Each structure stands twice: as C-alpha cells, then as structure tokens.
Amino acid sequence: MAEVADDIWESIGGYVGAEGLELYDLEVAGGRGEPSLRVVVDGPDGVDLDHLADLSRGIDRLLVDTRYDTTKYGLELTSPGLERKLRRPEHWAGAVGSKVVVKTRPEIDGSRRHEGEIVSTDETSAEVAVEDGTRTIPFNDVTSARTVYVWQKGAKPGKKE
C-alpha cells in the first residue's frame, strides 16, 4: 500500500524532517467505510505524545485539498514501535543485525517463512541468516516482514547478582 501514498511522501517527509524526525512509513489503513492515512514517524530518541499531537495538526493542514484530505480520511500518527514492519529498502538497511520474521511468495529454499538475522541488504534484496544457512530474499517476493524484539532476561527483583 505504500505506493498509494507516494504522491504525498515528499511533502509530509519534508515537514516531519523540519520537525527533527524521520518519516518512517505511510500507508492507507482500514476499509472502504473508514479509511485512514497512517503516518509512522521516528526520531533518534523516539517520539513523545506531545510531539505527535503537534505533528498531527501540521500534517492535517498539509492534507487539505489533497486526495487524503482528513474530511475523507482519518489521520493516525504513530511511532514504529519495538517490532517494526520492513516495507522499504531503507527499513531493511536500518535493521541489519536485527532478528526478523519474513514471509515470501514463492518459496525460497523450500520455505515461505524465514526467521533469522539480517546480515546485509542492497536495493533489491536482503541476506538473512537462518538456522540452516543464509538466504537471499528478494524484496519483490516478500509478502510481510517485521523485526522481532528479543526480550533480555533480567535479574529477579530482590535477588542479588
């Protein structure tokens, strides 16, 4: 769905960049009844709710008289969170070294589900180290992909280390 919002990526991206953040993703979400434009932003120190509220008002003004006018579309601003969708080559490049779950069509090396760590990327594919080796996964074959947050086991409360 990213291609649906490509025509406004630059204007929203420029505004978000001027606010010291990065436009991570744009997508149209929801069905015919109540579609919304989901704007995903990130920053070096994350994004707080007050900043999202300010951005929402500014982006709302940018969307007036566009095909994504908020009288026709809802507007949702969010951060990518711990487990991030990987939809653009930049997302993959930024996630090198991260654990991922990738689903593909067609099968690659006999599987449509690939779980491992991103080793490297280029503009068209990623190398993912899986349990039995490394797989080259072309972005055009990916149906869904996301990073996987690995919870670190900490000391139990009240226990001395």
Given a contact cutoff of 8 angstroms between Cβ atoms, the answer to whether 39 and 23 are in contact is yes
Q: Above 70 in pLDDT, residue 155?
A: no
Residue 61's H or E segment, with its range, is helix 49-63
Question: Average pLDDT over the chain, rounded to whole?
Answer: 89
What six digits make up the tokens of 23? 């436009």
Given a contact cutoff of 8 angstroms between Cβ atoms, the answer to whether 30 and 36 are in contact is yes
DSSP 81-132: -SS-B--SHHHHHHTTTSEEEEEEEEEETTEEEEEEEEEEE-SSEEEEEETT
DSSP symbol at 5: G
As a whole number of angstroms, the distance between CA 138 and CA 107 comes to 11
Taking alpha carbons only, the member of 94, 110, 93, 112 closest to residue 102 is: 112
As annotated, the residues of the chain forming the CATH 2.30.30.180 domain(s) are 89-147
User: The tokens 């409360």 sit on which residue?
Assistant: 157
Residue 1: per-residue pLDDT:
38
Q: Above 90 in pLDDT, residue 134?
A: yes
Q: Above 70 in pLDDT, residue 4?
A: no
As annotated, the residues of the chain forming the CATH 3.30.300.70 domain(s) are 2-78
What CATH code would you report for 2-78?
A: 3.30.300.70
Residue 139: per-residue pLDDT:
97
Residue 2: per-residue pLDDT:
40
Looking at residues 133-153, what average pLDDT do you find? 93
Please, which pLDDT band fits residue 161 given cuts at 50, 70 and 90? low
Please, which pLDDT band fits residue 160 given cuts at 50, 70 and 90? low
- CATH class label, 89-147: mainly beta
What global pTM score does this model have? 0.77
